[in-house]
Chains A and B, each alone.
Chain A
Amino acid sequence: DAGVTQSPTHLIKTRGQQVTLRCSPKSGHDTVSWYQQALGQGPQFIFQYYEEEERQRGNFPDRFSGHQFPNYSSELNVNALLLGDSALYLCASSLGGSGNTIYFGEGSWLTVV
């Protein structure tokens, strides 16, 4: 059973460009969350998707947007990239309901130059 898979694993972008990161949740999971982990920091919650709707959002600007597809996979889009967007982007999936474990993927390393 594949866990949470993310792509690409590493990428380099230039300031001002746009990036799309992709996530496939663990089989059977319907809820996908995205986190940003800057170097030396803990992950910070960006947003969460459930039934193709954004259910919660953290303190991130509108340059960060997302989407969830009918098969529960998800995309994170970041527009107008800044140097400060360089980080590890983690996707997490879970099954809706109290007490269910949240599983994380290995992340996508984004470097903005």
Chain B
Amino acid sequence: AQSVTQLDSQVPVFEEAPVELRCNYSSSVSVYLFWYVQYPNQGLQLLLKYLSGSTLVESINGFEAEFNKSQTSFHLRKPSVHISDTAEYFCAVSDARGGGSNYKLTFGKGTLLTVNP
């Protein structure tokens, strides 16, 4: 079984400031890792994912996350945030055995990122 801990429930920042949303996971097996974003009254959208290879993964809108196996972490970062980045961010894991990225996701409780002008 896996579990995910998102260490901050809310993160307020000013526009153009850097931000880090923290995610730690627990698992007895190898995992795939994901960040999803949820805008108000919408479903979840995949932001980025780590399956294998380079531990640093990037999204098209400037976010990046680094898989750290020894720290069991997958923190999300952006060097300069915009008002439009205001949303709830969810970290998730899935079992990597047998093509597990297509199987169930275990989510953290989410971090509400609020970008203020």
Question: Chain A interface (Cβ within 8 Å of chain B)?
Answer: 4, 31, 33, 35, 40-45, 48, 55-56, 58, 90, 92, 94-107
Judge whether B90 and A43 touch: CB under 8 Å.
yes
In the complex, the chain A residue whose C-beta lies closest to that of B103 is A56
Question: Chain B interface (Cβ within 8 Å of chain A)?
Answer: 4, 36, 41-46, 49, 51, 90, 92, 99-110
In the complex, the chain B residue whose C-beta lies closest to that of A101 is B46
Instruction: Give every chain A residue within 8 A of B110 (Cβ-Cβ).
Output: 40-42
Q: Out of B36, B43, B100, B106, which one reaches A105, CB within 8 Å?
A: B43
A102–B45 Cα distance when bound, in Å, is 9
Instruction: Give every chain A residue within 8 A of B104 (Cβ-Cβ).
Output: 33, 45, 48, 56, 58
Instruction: Give every chain A residue within 8 A of B43 (Cβ-Cβ).
Output: 4, 90, 104-107
Instruction: Give every chain A residue within 8 A of B49 (Cβ-Cβ).
Output: 101
A22–B106 Cα distance when bound, in Å, is 22
Judge whether A42 and B109 touch: CB under 8 Å.
yes
